[in-house]
Amino acid sequence: MPVVITPETEFAKERAKWEAEGGPWGAPGKRWVFKEYPQAMYKVTERNPLQTEFMTADNETEKRNLESRGFVAGGPGKAVEAYDAQQRTIAEAAANRAYGELRMSPEARAEAQQYESEADGHVAEIPEMPIRRKPGRPPKAKE
């Protein structure tokens, strides 16, 4: 059985004080207050098909922690833009490395290809291999 609440009743007046939106009982009495937290954070893990992760940040520290792991505030659309920008940056670094390979010696080029075949995805930088020298006679001390 429905109950009709008219704006003139004490119940309607008290309810309007506590509501942030107006309704059939009257105009709103409580103002909206913006609260930054909890805040939804999104991260795209794969573009095709689109896969996203969602986490909630309850304070500034958690937000910075999630941002350091690739999460973005502002919805899934912003997360897709951030993912595309990240992939573009990685692709540019890999292209610069490939261009630098043109001036490498054949031995260095073979070493780079070996490292690239073992890694998955773009390889922006190949770690420098240490040069192993045979132990020998120490240099003479200067007096």
Residue 85: predicted pLDDT: 94
Q: Which domain holds residue 44?
A: 39-116
Tokens of 126: 């190949």
For residue 1, tell me if it sits in a domain: no
For residue 106, tell me if it sits in a domain: yes
Q: Give mean pLDDT, residues 22-51.
A: 82
- Residue 69: is its pLDDT beyond 90? yes
Percentage of the chain beyond pLDDT 90 is 34
- Residue 81: is its pLDDT beyond 70? yes
For residue 15, tell me if it sits in a domain: no
Q: Rounded CA gap, 38 and 55, in Å?
A: 10
Q: How many domains does the chain have?
A: 1
- Contacts (Cβ under 8 Å, ≥6 apart) of 21: 28
Q: Measured on CA atoms in the order 83, 85, 88, 94, is the torsion positive or negative?
A: negative
For residue 28, tell me if it sits in a domain: no
Residue 94: predicted pLDDT: 80
For residue 99, tell me if it sits in a domain: yes
- Residue 48: is its pLDDT beyond 80? yes
pLDDT in tens, 106-130: 988 888 888 888 887 777 777 887 8
Q: Rounded CA gap, 9 and 2, in Å?
A: 16
For residue 56, tell me if it sits in a domain: yes
For residue 18, tell me if it sits in a domain: no
For residue 57, tell me if it sits in a domain: yes
- 20-34, 39-53, 63-77: which has the minimum mean pLDDT? 20-34
Tokens of 14: 């008290």
